[in-house]
Amino acid sequence: MPEGKPPKFLYHYTTIKSLPYIFKENGKVEFRFTDYRFLNDAEEGTFLKKFIEKNKADYRKSLKEQDLKKLFDLFADRFSRLEDRLRQNNYTPYIMSFTKCEDSMQFWRQDYAKDKGICLKLSTSKFKFSTEYDGTDFEPKYPTFSQVRYISSSDTIGKAFPKLKKDLSNFLKSKKGNCFDKLVFTKDFQPKIKVFSVKNKVWMSEDEWRLKIVRLGEDSTLHSIKAEYKTDELGIPRATIEIKNPIEEIILGPTFSPQYVDSIKEWLNNRHFNDINVRCGDGVLNW
């Protein structure tokens, strides 16, 4: 599969209590994104920073050209000041997570799904946001799926990101003659390393894909996709956007009896979602 291209189907695990919030009376569905600082990985958004900080000295020694070393220093500094840059730009990423794992006991056992958990099967080709867009290119018109890259804390930078040296060298060639004292990171240099799609290898079994939207402060000069931001009943910052329905099936977790299938189908039909299949899961696939 080409890098960045999602599979035909992805899965999102949640609880049956979420159904009234997801399926709206207007025939659309509402999907919820979470402030990255409140996701279930305590190192969310910081793992890559720690990894680069730990390994940057050895990687720098492996670079022979002095200008290449200077460029790498700028690259490493970009991640060391991540939190400050987010605050200065009033820039807060909100994440929605998916997995390639269908009907997986690994997910049914997690706290949010073990009591009446459900799994939503989504067609990625139907996942389009119905939202206004102001024409700027800071954020894409539609958020795109990003595949999470898992790296071991014991890896070297070269092993984790084998294309980094080539990216640095190509950028250096394109800027030949520029003064490094004035060089700053702009859109000219974008190594294919997405901070919020890199996680510790201990999470690898989740086989995660992500969508990201951004909340910007009122005084920001940047632009982003419009969404509704609010804090939920548990005190967690969320962002919601209504989209056309991409859900093809609802899989019920192991705690459901078969009687729920017809009941939920009727509930969906009353809301004009007649084409969504409902079934009981086995709870053993991908396990």
Q: What is the pLDDT of residues 185-202, one digit of tens each?
A: 444 555 667 788 899 999
pLDDT band of 89, cuts 50, 70, 90 = low
What average pLDDT does this structure show over 74-93? 77
Count other Cβ atoms within 10 Å, centred on residue 276: 19
In a domain, 212, yes or no: yes
Among 212, 236, 238, 240, CA closest to 226: 240
Q: How many residues does the chain have?
A: 287
**Which neighbouring-strand residues pair with 164?**
none
In a domain, 287, yes or no: no
Calpha distance 287→283 (Å, rounded): 8
Report how many domains make up the chain: 1
Q: Quick one: CA dihedral 83, 85, 89, 95, positive or negative?
A: negative
Amino acid of residue 64: K
Calpha distance 235→14 (Å, rounded): 18
CB within 8 Å of 225: residues ≥ 6 apart = 129, 131, 133, 139, 141, 143, 213, 214, 241
Is the model more confident about 115 or about 58? 58
For residues 119 and 234, is the Cβ–Cβ distance under 8 A? no
Average pLDDT of the chain?
A: 82
In a domain, 13, yes or no: yes
Q: Which residue has the tokens 């053993």?
A: 284
**Which neighbouring-strand residues pair with 230?**
238
What average pLDDT does this structure show over 139-147? 67
Q: Which domain holds residue 114?
A: 9-280
Percent of the chain scoring above 70 in pLDDT: 80
For residues 224 and 21, is the Cβ–Cβ distance under 8 A? no
Among 131, 151, 148, CA closest to 139: 131
In a domain, 134, yes or no: yes
In a domain, 252, yes or no: yes
**What pLDDT does residue 13 have?**
94
In a domain, 286, yes or no: no
Is the model more confident about 249 or about 138? 249
Q: Is the pLDDT assigned to residue 272 strictly greater than 80? A: yes
**What pLDDT does residue 130 have?**
42
pLDDT band of 137, cuts 50, 70, 90 = very low
Two structure tokens written together for 281:
């899961």
pTM: 0.84
Q: Is the pLDDT assigned to residue 223 strictly greater than 80? A: no
pLDDT, tens digit, 9 for 90 and up, residues 24-74 = 887 889 999 999 889 888 888 889 889 999 999 999 999 988 888 888 888
Instruction: Enumerate helices (H) and strands (E) in the chain, giving the number of each.
Output: 8, 12
**What pLDDT does residue 176 have?**
58
**What pLDDT does residue 266 have?**
95
What separation, in Å, do the N-terminal and C-terminal C-alpha atoms of the chain show?
Answer: 22
Distance of CA 104 to the CA centre of its chain: 20
SS3 state of residue 239: strand
Interhelix angle 47-61/66-80, rounded to 10 degrees, is: 170
**What pLDDT does residue 212 have?**
87
In a domain, 157, yes or no: yes
Q: Is the pLDDT assigned to residue 133 strictly greater than 60? A: no
For residues 228 and 112, is the Cβ–Cβ distance under 8 A? no
For residues 278 and 259, is the Cβ–Cβ distance under 8 A? no
In a domain, 2, yes or no: no
Q: Is the pLDDT assigned to residue 232 strictly greater than 80? A: yes
Distances (CA, A) of 174 to 70, 71, 125, 156, 166: 15, 13, 36, 27, 12
CB within 8 Å of 226: residues ≥ 6 apart = 131, 132, 241
Q: Is the pLDDT assigned to residue 134 strictly greater than 80? A: no
**What pLDDT does residue 101 have?**
93
Q: Is the pLDDT assigned to residue 203 strictly greater than 50? A: yes
pLDDT band of 224, cuts 50, 70, 90 = low
Calpha distance 188→31 (Å, rounded): 33
